[in-house]
């Protein structure tokens, strides 16, 4: 019998939960013809991370599995990427601006990001998408802010299943230079969590008790409706 798994991912950073409110519309560049007045490249216009030692990681995972540690799908890589030192700024004809940053993790199954500072002004929109522009998340707006401009909060964005992602930040002329986006970690996903945890098919992996089977799941029928998958700094587990 297959377990029904809620495909909800709760991303936590330093044990702080940050709701990802978004507009769910398409990135600005997808539907708008860009008339560019000027281009400014920062010091790191595109980021390519060093490939992981997958053999070493596989050995570590075998040991962790034997010790009963949580499922690891990614390695957090410390970075210091922000609107002033990375990416490319495009100033549009009407005075609005667009910031694009490409991050590539060779042979990665997924990429997600954590931010040490995050604050967006009125009208500012942040999107993330894969290199084929078929998968995207956002737009994150002022409604996603947990802190203030003077004291920006931490933030986290979800997994994109690709080895290369693009960040796109749209900033209206009226709030030029006000946005704060500072990336502190790139989680280099080396295992396909959807495939290895079999989330799409709804089955359970060997170390789990199947909550929809009898008798092992009989005492947990009320609680099962609150079960979710959690991804925390490269690790995945279940919780509620």
Residues with Cβ within 8 Å of residue 174, at least 6 apart in sequence: 122, 123
Three-state SS string over 144-165 comes to HCCCCCCCCEEEEEEEECCCEE
Per-residue pLDDT of the chain (240 residues; tens, 9 = 90+): 333 333 333 333 333 334 456 777 899 999 888 999 999 999 999 999 999 999 999 999 999 888 888 888 899 999 999 999 999 999 999 999 999 999 999 999 999 999 999 999 999 999 999 999 999 999 999 999 999 999 999 999 999 999 999 999 999 999 999 999 999 999 999 998 776 655 444 444 455 566 666 676 677 676 656 554 455 555 555 555
Which pTM was predicted?
Answer: 0.77
């Amino acid at each position: 019998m297959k377990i029904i798994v809620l495909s909800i991912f709760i991303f936590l950073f330093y044990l702080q939960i940050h709701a990802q409110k978004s507009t769910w519309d398409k990135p600005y560049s997808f539907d708008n013809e860009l008339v560019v007045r000027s281009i400014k490249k920062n010091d790191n216009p595109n980021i390519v991370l060093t490939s992981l030692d997958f053999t070493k990681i596989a050995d570590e995972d075998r040991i962790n599995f034997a010790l009963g540690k949580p499922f690891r799908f990614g390695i957090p890589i410390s970075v210091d990427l922000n609107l002033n030192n990375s990416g490319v700024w495009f100033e549009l004809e009407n005075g609005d601006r667009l910031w694009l940053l490409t991050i590539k993790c060779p042979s990665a199954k997924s990429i997600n990001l954590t931010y040490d500072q995050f604050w967006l002004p009125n009208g500012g929109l942040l999107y993330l998408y894969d290199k084929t522009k078929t998968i995207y998340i956002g737009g994150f707006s002022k409604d996603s802010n947990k802190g203030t401009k003077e004291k920006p909060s931490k933030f986290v964005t979800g997994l994109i299943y690709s080895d290369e992602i693009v960040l796109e930040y749209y900033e209206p002329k009226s709030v030029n230079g006000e946005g704060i986006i500072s990336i502190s970690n790139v989680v280099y996903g080396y295992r396909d969590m959807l495939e290895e945890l079999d989330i799409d098919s709804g089955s359970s992996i060997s170390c789990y008790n199947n909550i929809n089977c009898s008798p092992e799941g009989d005492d947990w029928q009320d609680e099962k409706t609150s079960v979710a998958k959690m991804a925390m700094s490269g690790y995945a587990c279940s919780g509620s």
